[in-house]
């Protein structure tokens, strides 16, 4: 079945550091890929998405490129802020009814 | 614009008591609806999804059930809660066709004691 694997956290960075959170997937067909973010005590918010190979999703300084050859969708940001501290979930959608398969999430902690 | 509501925000219930969590969506018609559970420190598990009134698909066997009595209303229920039902319950919706993005509600934190 479909699956998403994310790097284990927590990830702790100093403000203005470069961020990479790895995500790889296994799916039949051609999935759409997503990054969601969950701030403490809140629901999930869509951060960015890509619907086909080589697409780049971007939002709020975050970027991720859909790499079909490596089945990856790594999240990057050039300079993180304390306000980016949250849990980040990679997900794919490849089946009926737009069902999402999530990774386990990666907690990011940014310090001053 | 579309909004999704969940209530209650927080709930503490004794083992063996019933449960009813409600989710409603505004500003759209015929949405797909979803219930997820997030256990402490873990990822999201899809519990149920619905593509229309009265149409419920269950993803995992469990102590819970779901119903969709109206187009934009999705209810998660249990007759007798277990300790293992504790967690953060998230409702989500997506447009029926053309887009796969899901939009999440604020969640309900359930503690079963």
Question: Given A46, A100, A104, which is nearest B42 (Cβ)?
Answer: A104
Q: How far does the CA of residue A18 sit from the closest CA of chain B (Å)?
A: 24
Q: How far does the CA of residue B99 sit from the closest CA of chain A (Å)?
A: 8
A14 forms bridges with which residues in the sheet? A111
More confident residue, B22 or A9: B22
Residue A106 touches chain B, beta carbons under 8 Å = no
- Of the candidates A65, A38, A41, A42, which has an alpha carbon nearest to the alpha carbon of residue A54? A65
pLDDT at B59 over 90: no
Q: What is the pLDDT of residues A56-78, one digit of tens each?
A: 999 999 999 999 999 999 999 99
- Cβ pairs A/B, distance under 8 A: 50
Q: Are strands B108-112 and B10-13 parallel, antiparallel or unpaired?
A: parallel
Residue A93 touches chain B, beta carbons under 8 Å = yes
Q: What is the pLDDT of residue A30?
A: 84
Mean pLDDT of B62-70: 92
Q: How is residue A79 written in tokens?
A: 């300079």
The pLDDT confidence band at residue B98, using thresholds 50, 70 and 90, is: low
A25 forms bridges with which residues in the sheet? A4
| B4 sits in which H/E element | strand B3-7
- Of the candidates B58, B44, B52, which has an alpha carbon nearest to the alpha carbon of residue B90? B44
Which residues of chain A lie closer than 8 angstroms to B35, CB-CB?
A: none
Q: What is the pLDDT of residue A98?
A: 76
pLDDT at B110 over 90: yes
Q: What is the pLDDT of residues B33-56, one digit of tens each?
A: 999 998 776 778 899 999 999 999
The pLDDT confidence band at residue B99, using thresholds 50, 70 and 90, is: low
Q: What is the pLDDT of residue B17?
A: 97
Q: What is the pLDDT of residue A41?
A: 80
Question: Given B42, B46, B106, which is nearest A42 (Cβ)?
Answer: B106
Q: Would the CB atoms of B99 and A98 count as touching at under 8 Å? A: yes
B15 forms bridges with which residues in the sheet? none
Q: What is the pLDDT of residue A67?
A: 96
What CA–CA distance (Å, rounded) separates A70 from A74?
11
Mean pLDDT of B91-113: 88
What CA–CA distance (Å, rounded) separates A54 from A58?
13
Percent of chain B at pLDDT exceeding 70? 96
pLDDT at A111 over 90: yes
B91 forms bridges with which residues in the sheet? B35
pLDDT at B25 over 70: yes
Q: What is the pLDDT of residues A5-39, one digit of tens each?
A: 998 889 999 999 999 999 999 998 889 999 999 99
Q: What is the pLDDT of residue A28?
A: 82
């Amino acid at each position: 079945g479909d699956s998403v694997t994310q790097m284990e956290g927590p990830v702790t960075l100093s403000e203005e550091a470069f961020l990479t959170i790895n995500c790889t997937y296994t799916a039949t067909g051609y999935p759409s890929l997503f990054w969601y973010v969950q701030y403490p005590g809140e629901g999930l918010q869509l951060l960015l998405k890509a619907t086909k190979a080589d697409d780049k999703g971007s939002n709020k300084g975050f970027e991720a490129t859909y790499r079909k050859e490596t089945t990856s969708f790594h999240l990057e940001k050039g300079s993180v802020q304390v306000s980016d501290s949250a849990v980040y979930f990679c997900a794919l959608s490849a089946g009926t009814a737009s069902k999402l398969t999530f990774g386990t999430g990666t907690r990011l902690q940014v310090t001053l | 614009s579309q909004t999704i509501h969940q209530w209650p925000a927080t709930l503490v219930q004794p083992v063996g008591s019933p449960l009813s969590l409600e989710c409603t969506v505004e500003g759209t018609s015929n949405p797909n609806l979803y219930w997820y559970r997030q256990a402490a420190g873990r990822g999201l598990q899809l519990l149920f999804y619905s593509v229309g009134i009265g149409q419920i698909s269950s993803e995992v066997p469990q102590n819970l059930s779901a119903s969709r009595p109206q187009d934009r209303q999705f209810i998660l229920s249990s007759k007798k809660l277990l300790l293992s039902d504790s967690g953060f319950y998230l409702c989500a919706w997506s447009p029926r066709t053309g887009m796969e993005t899901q939009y999440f509600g604020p969640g309900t934190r359930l503690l079963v004691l």
